[in-house]
Amino acid sequence: MSKKLWNRDFVLLLQGSAVSTIGDLMYSVAIGYWVYEKTGSSGLMGIMSAISMFVTMFLSPFTGSIVDKCNRKWVMVGMDLMQSVIMLTIGVLAYMNKLNVPGVLIAAFLAALGSVFYSPAASTLMIDIIPHDDMVRGQSIFSGSSALINMAGTTLSGVMVAFFGVPLIVIINGLSNLYSAISELFIRVPKTVQQGTAVTVKSILRDSKAAVKAIFSERFLALFVPCALMINLLGAGPLTLVLPFAMEKGFTVDMYGYLMAAWTAASLICVLLLGIIKLTPKVRFWCMAIGFSSSGLFLIAAYLSSQFIPMCILIFIGAFMNSMGNSIFNASFMLALPEENRGAILGFFQSASVGGTALSAVLYGVLGDAFPLALVFSVGTALSLVPMLYMCFAPRTKEFMLTH
């Protein structure tokens, strides 16, 4: 493991990921525009998002196990190369006016399949190339760069699609994936405990079973995972329904954009600060506990507010505190993963998280049809504070933060 944060492997992974993220963001805007222009159906855009969600939910527990047994460098390089070929093919078909909706949906499925293999490989690799006492800073830098790219990209992507056209944007995305693959060739990837063992259906099922067992037998994971999933189920819904919430409050679409900008800006500032400042274990614990505990209170106050400016301020503070708690918790969670089956546990956790988020969105949507969204948001967030406070102030959590 490298002794400094800004080592060669970290920089290669960071810049490759950043370039790939830029391309993916431009592609998502371009292909969404193409689908809507060709069909006039917003439902098809929803189907494209659903494909990615379902692939992640159903395959993550198994792909994590496969990644544990493979060379992670070649998994990442292979998935980026596959993504590059898919995007370049889509771009050429678009130039020739031979692209159709079934082709776009197949590409969405293949891209989601590549992502569900790439994600556990990159996530477990970060644990090995970032010094453990710099995990919060390292992950914050990754999150901050991604948030910055998304904030800038959301603003500029529409202009770039209009200026360059859909085919060229898709080809640029293919080239960005190719660049990411080339960068990853030079990363020094440590060998995992299971690397080289045979990949069979029996071994994958065995690893998935072992991952579930490890979650409930390891004292820190046994606390973190159930609490995190419960918090996600109870508290993730509002983020998917901000637009109807703003409309219900009597705000305009522009004001909705400002609310989302306040959330994004707060999260970005938080992760950038965490990427710069190195916290001691004791400070990390209190930042996480205070961040999680207070974020819900500020967000409830925002939901119940009827004035736009105070609501923006409260959402900014709530998002900042939430991002602080999440960044520190996620870094600690990564360190708690047993080395022998990190990928399988991450896959299981990602699958459950995606499922929890989807279920939360449905639950909030159904309740929002019967009750005011401000009330539904406030009650749901208040309920999420129960597992949140329990997790933050449990003796095991403090022990873990002070010893890792």
Tens of pLDDT, residue by residue over 53-97, are 778 778 887 888 888 888 999 999 999 999 999 999 999 999 898
Q: Would residue 1 count as lying in a domain?
A: no
Q: Per-residue pLDDT averaged across 233-242, rounded?
A: 79
Using the predicted structure, report yes or no on whether residue 378 has a pLDDT greater than 90: yes
- Residue 82 has what pLDDT? 94
- Residue 404 has what pLDDT? 65
Q: Would residue 68 count as lying in a domain?
A: yes
- Over the stretch 129-140, which tens digit does the pLDDT of each residue have? 888 777 777 777
Using the predicted structure, report yes or no on whether residue 3 has a pLDDT greater than 70: no
Q: Are residues 348 and 301 in the same domain?
A: yes
- Residue 112 has what pLDDT? 84
One-letter identity of residue 17: S
Residue 251 confidence class, pLDDT cut points 50, 70, 90? confident
Task: Find the CATH number of the domain harbouring 180.
Answer: 1.20.1250.20
- Over the stretch 114-126, which tens digit does the pLDDT of each residue have? 888 988 888 888 8
Mean pLDDT score of the chain? 82
Q: What string of H, E and C letters represents the secondary structure of 116-185?
A: HHHHHHHHHHHHHHCCHHHHHHHHHHHHHHHHHHHHHHHHHHHHHHHHHCHHHHHHHHHHHHHHHHHHHC
Tokens of 108: 């969405």
- Residue 253 has what pLDDT? 65
Q: Are residues 45 and 180 in the same domain?
A: yes
Residue 241 confidence class, pLDDT cut points 50, 70, 90? confident
Q: Are residues 145 and 225 in the same domain?
A: no
Residues with Cβ within 8 Å of residue 54, at least 6 apart in sequence: none
Q: Would residue 260 count as lying in a domain?
A: yes
Boundary residue ending a domain (193, 217, 244): 193
CA distances from 32 to 102, 119, 146 (A): 14, 23, 20
Boundary residue ending a domain (144, 165, 193): 193
Q: Are residues 43 and 142 in the same domain?
A: yes
Q: Per-residue pLDDT averaged across 161-186, rounded?
A: 88
Q: Which residue range forms the structural domain that includes residue 31?
A: 8-193
- Over the stretch 284-318, which tens digit does the pLDDT of each residue have? 889 989 999 899 999 999 999 989 999 999 999 99
- Over the stretch 268-280, which tens digit does the pLDDT of each residue have? 788 778 878 888 8
Tokens of 370: 């019967």
- Residue 311 has what pLDDT? 94
Q: Are residues 258 and 350 in the same domain?
A: yes
Tokens of 344: 């399988």
**What is the domain count for the chain?**
2
Distance (Å, rounded) from C-alpha 247 to C-alpha 256? Answer: 8
- Over the stretch 21-49, which tens digit does the pLDDT of each residue have? 777 777 877 787 787 677 766 556 656 66
Q: Would residue 180 count as lying in a domain?
A: yes
Which is more confident, 153 or 202? Answer: 202
Distance (Å, rounded) from C-alpha 154 to C-alpha 188? Answer: 33
Do residues 363 and 232 make contact, with C-beta atoms less than 8 angstroms apart?
no
Q: Would residue 198 count as lying in a domain?
A: no
Q: Are residues 124 and 185 in the same domain?
A: yes
Boundary residue ending a domain (193, 219, 251): 193
Q: Positive or negative CA dihedral for 276, 277, 281, 287?
A: negative
Q: Are residues 105 and 237 in the same domain?
A: no
Q: Are residues 292 and 182 in the same domain?
A: no
Q: Would residue 48 count as lying in a domain?
A: yes
Using the predicted structure, report yes or no on whether residue 369 has a pLDDT greater than 60: yes
Q: Are residues 61 and 163 in the same domain?
A: yes
Q: Would residue 3 count as lying in a domain?
A: no
Distance (Å, rounded) from C-alpha 45 to C-alpha 40? Answer: 10
- Over the stretch 311-361, which tens digit does the pLDDT of each residue have? 999 999 999 999 898 888 887 777 777 766 677 777 777 777 777 776 777
Tokens of 237: 């819904």
Q: Would residue 2 count as lying in a domain?
A: no
- Residue 24 has what pLDDT? 79
Distance (Å, rounded) from C-alpha 240 to C-alpha 53? Answer: 14
Q: Are residues 226 and 347 in the same domain?
A: yes
- Locate all alpha helices (DSSP H) within 236-341, ordered by sequence: 237-240, 242-248, 253-276, 281-304, 308-336
- Residue 69 has what pLDDT? 86
Q: Are residues 254 and 140 in the same domain?
A: no
Tokens of 206: 């065995």
Residues with Cβ within 8 Å of residue 164, at least 6 apart in sequence: 172
Residue 212 confidence class, pLDDT cut points 50, 70, 90? confident
Q: Are residues 158 and 211 in the same domain?
A: no
